[in-house]
């Protein structure tokens, strides 16, 4: 068997981290430049509020479809091929976003970009998990996400530096595409997973997505792995993306910039994602670390809906708390990967985060929108939070512990 790579900052970790950095940059860039880009296409303020949400949901649908596609290919063709094919697709998609001249073109470009973005994190986490020794697995994957998530902070400052004028938002997309292509140069020297290579030439079923639904125990593990992360996209996709609207409801004083809210939240998420790896090592438990971060998220949500009459600065500080609490992205993906065998591990590790991202379009937003007509915007926001957090807490409670688990095994049909 191929000897595992022990140094924490090996090339696979670096490529995974930088790949996710560009991934997050592009994923959050639309939320940051949503208003100027749609104004540049001639939409009114009323249309921007409606169509902006529609485009975000189209992007999330691309992530859902791409998650399944890249996950299956990751187990059938290899982690490396998927990692770099997805980088190429979202780099091309990012450049295409900067060239759109109609709403339909923008929607298509975001869908294609979503398809590309879907493959990078799962393939990267799977590769790093299988190359690193189990003693350092959690820390390594946390570094991947911690560095990667800082891409949102970078996106905010790129918008500040280059996003001015009528077409400045196009430059922001071009920069993202260029970064993606530069990343491909680091591909040379990255090793394929030895666990994956040991399956080649055997009759073991690889990348069979339907195996996740043919066994009840496997199905429950898969669904709960997704539901654990529902608070992430409730926080980012509802509370922070539309913090200006909630701020008006709560009579928060001062100008509220959703882009700044996203930036400070993701700065905190990056800190949380690095920290949770060390906390998990300290607790010697994935679940205890995740419980701690879910509780911080709960505290942040309570604080958010008690900002009546506060300042915009106070709101941004609550965004920091919410970001820190939801800084468990890498840990939840790592935990999902550790629960399944090598023959479907990439399928799980790629579909789970994208199903969680897609939950914004198919679960969180529909609940929120369904509640608004009857209880109003503000109350719908916190009721959605109650539902989302309750589901996540139950899912985490029944998820098995995976700390220190050996990964060199296969899933039977």
Q: Contact at 8 Å (CB) between 141 and 330?
A: yes
Mean per-residue pLDDT, 369-386:
91
List b or e across 276-308, with b for residues whose CB sees 16 or more CB atoms inside 10 angstroms.
bbebbbebebbbebbbbbbebbbebbebbbebe
Secondary structure (DSSP) of 14-38: HHHHHHHHHHHHHHHHHHHHHHHHH
Task: Give the CA radius of gyration of the chain.
Answer: 20
Is 11-186+209-398 assigned to CATH 3.10.20.30?
A: no
Supply the pTM of this predicted model. 0.79
pLDDT one-digit tens code per residue, 64-120: 888 888 888 877 877 777 777 888 888 898 899 999 888 889 889 999 988 888 877
Mean pLDDT over the full length of the chain = 83
Q: Tell me: the pLDDT tens digits for 330-341? A: 788 888 888 988
Residue 65, Cβ density class (10 Å: 0-12 exposed, 13-18 middle, ≥19 buried)? middle
Model confidence at 187, in pLDDT bands (50, 70, 90)?
low
What integer is the mean pLDDT of 281-293?
A: 92
Residue 361: count other Cβ atoms within 10 Å of its Cβ: 22
Contact 110, 62 (CB under 8 A): yes
Domain boundaries defined on the chain: 11-186+209-398
């Amino acid at each position: 068997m191929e000897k595992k790579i022990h140094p924490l900052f090996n090339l696979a970790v670096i490529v995974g981290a930088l790949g996710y950095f560009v991934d997050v940059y592009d994923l959050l860039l639309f939320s940051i430049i949503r208003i100027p880009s749609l104004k540049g296409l001639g939409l009114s303020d009323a249309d921007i509020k409606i169509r902006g949400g529609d485009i975000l949901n189209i992007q999330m649908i691309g992530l859902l479809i791409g998650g399944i596609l890249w996950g299956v290919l990751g187990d059938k063709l290899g982690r490396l091929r998927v990692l770099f094919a997805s980088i190429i697709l979202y780099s091309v998609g990012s450049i295409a976003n900067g060239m759109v001249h109609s709403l339909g073109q923008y929607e298509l470009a975001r869908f294609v970009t979503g398809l590309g973005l879907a493959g990078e994190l799962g393939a990267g986490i799977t590769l790093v998990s299988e190359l690193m020794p189990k003693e350092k697995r959690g820390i390594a994957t946390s570094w991947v996400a911690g560095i990667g998530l800082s891409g949102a902070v970078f996106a905010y400052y790129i918008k500040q530096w280059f996003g001015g004028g009528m077409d400045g938002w196009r430059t922001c997309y071009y920069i993202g595409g260029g970064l993606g292509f530069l990343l491909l140069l680091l591909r040379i020297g990255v090793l394929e997973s030895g666990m994956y290579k040991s399956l080649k030439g055997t009759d073991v079923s690889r990348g069979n997505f339907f195996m996740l639904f043919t066994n009840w125990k496997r199905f429950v593990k898969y669904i709960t792995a997704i539901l654990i992360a529902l608070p992430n996209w409730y926080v980012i996709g509802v509370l922070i993306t539309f913090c200006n609207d909630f701020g008006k409801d709560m009579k928060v004083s001062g100008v509220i910039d959703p882009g700044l809210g996203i930036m400070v939240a993701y700065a905190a998420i990056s800190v949380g994602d690095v920290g949770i790896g060390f906390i998990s090592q300290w607790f010697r438990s994935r679940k205890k670390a995740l419980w701690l971060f879910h509780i911080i998220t709960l505290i942040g949500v309570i604080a958010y809906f008690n900002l009546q009459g506060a300042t915009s600065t106070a709101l941004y500080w609550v965004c920091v708390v919410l970001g820190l609490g939801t800084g468990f992205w890498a840990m939840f993906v790592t935990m999902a990967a550790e629960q399944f065998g090598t023959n479907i591990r990439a399928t799980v590790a790629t579909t789970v985060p994208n199903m969680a991202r897609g939950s914004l379009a198919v679960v969180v937003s529909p609940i929120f929108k369904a509640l608004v007509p009857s209880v109003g915007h503000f109350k719908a926001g916190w009721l959605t939070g109650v539902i989302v957090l309750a589901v996540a807490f139950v899912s985490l409670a029944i998820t098995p512990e995976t700390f220190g688990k050996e990964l060199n095994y296969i899933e039977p049909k």
